[in-house]
Amino acid sequence: MGINNLDDLGDTNNFENTTGLDGLGNLGVTESQVGESQRDSQSSSQSNYQSKSQRSTEVQALFNRIAPVYDQLNDWLSFGQHKVWKLMAVQWSGAALGDCCLDVCCGSGDLARLLAKQVKSQGQVYGVDFSVQQLQVAKETTPPHLAIEWLEGDALALPLADNYFDAATMGYGLRNVVDIPQALGELYRVLKPGAKAAILDFHQPQSSLVNDFQQWYLENIVVPMAERFNFTEEYAYLAPSLARFPSGREQVSLAKSAGFTEVVHYSIAFGLMGVLVAQK
């Protein structure tokens, strides 16, 4: 039987006494032990928060550093295919003429510009990123006729209203946030009921053959290319970030936990990439 509100519990004033235990002594636990446990819990929570905050700052600094060559590297490393994958994400988002759309972790603005072309002058697109340098590149490379507003903001605390957007996209951002459930929750919050989010990112291939190719690609293509631009350390994060990234099935589960009702994960590019499509 589910409990929908406090009234379902009856008299809430008497609820804590229904066990027949009047105090901590009846449980064999002293007040000092409870206090120590609470302090340990608080210390653990604070440490976890500091760890996430530090990682977030490191990711932000990384994307600021690689901003000048980000687009060029993406073109070379994907052999230009990232543009096709991003177009697929826009199509799956359901963005249409006149819609108000959002691109989270917009980077240099590729996906946001594709959304703007989809909604045309009758619509509006917002691109959000916490990297100031990436946003600067996005502004400089975007034609003035495209209706895009660039905003500095965190994917974990979007500076936007509830139930506002007709569609949303995210390209290669979910893998880099420090709290994936929180990021999905923020997307859910700002989308209108019935609206969709399409999230493009790397994928962990199910095929051992494709997985071996992905590892070879990272080690023999990505790393040497990054070395040419003196960004070896910056691109070294790719492999570990992919290793800890949830599988397609796990992403579906996380999106549903965030509140999305209809969720599908599409494996594309022979399983090397994936698009999570979630409808509110």
For residue 114, how many C-alpha atoms fall within 13 Å in the half-sphere facing its CB?
A: 24
Q: What is the mean pLDDT of the chain?
A: 82
Enter the CATH code of domain 66-279: 3.40.50.150
pLDDT at 180: 97
The average pLDDT across 1-18 equals 33
The domains of the chain are located at 29-65, 66-279
pLDDT, one tens digit per residue, over 219-245 is 888 888 888 877 777 677 778 888 899
If you average pLDDT over residues 71-96, what whole number do you get? Answer: 90
pTM: 0.77
pLDDT tens for 121-175 read 999 999 999 999 999 999 999 999 999 999 999 999 999 999 999 999 999 999 9
pLDDT given for residue 262 in this prediction: 98
Q: pLDDT at residue 184 above 80?
A: yes
In single-letter form, the type of residue at position 156 comes to L
Q: Kindly give the pairing relationship between strand 148-152 and strand 124-129.
A: parallel
User: Is pLDDT of 76 > 80?
Assistant: no
**pLDDT exceeds cutoff 80 at 60:** no
Residue 182: pLDDT over 90: yes
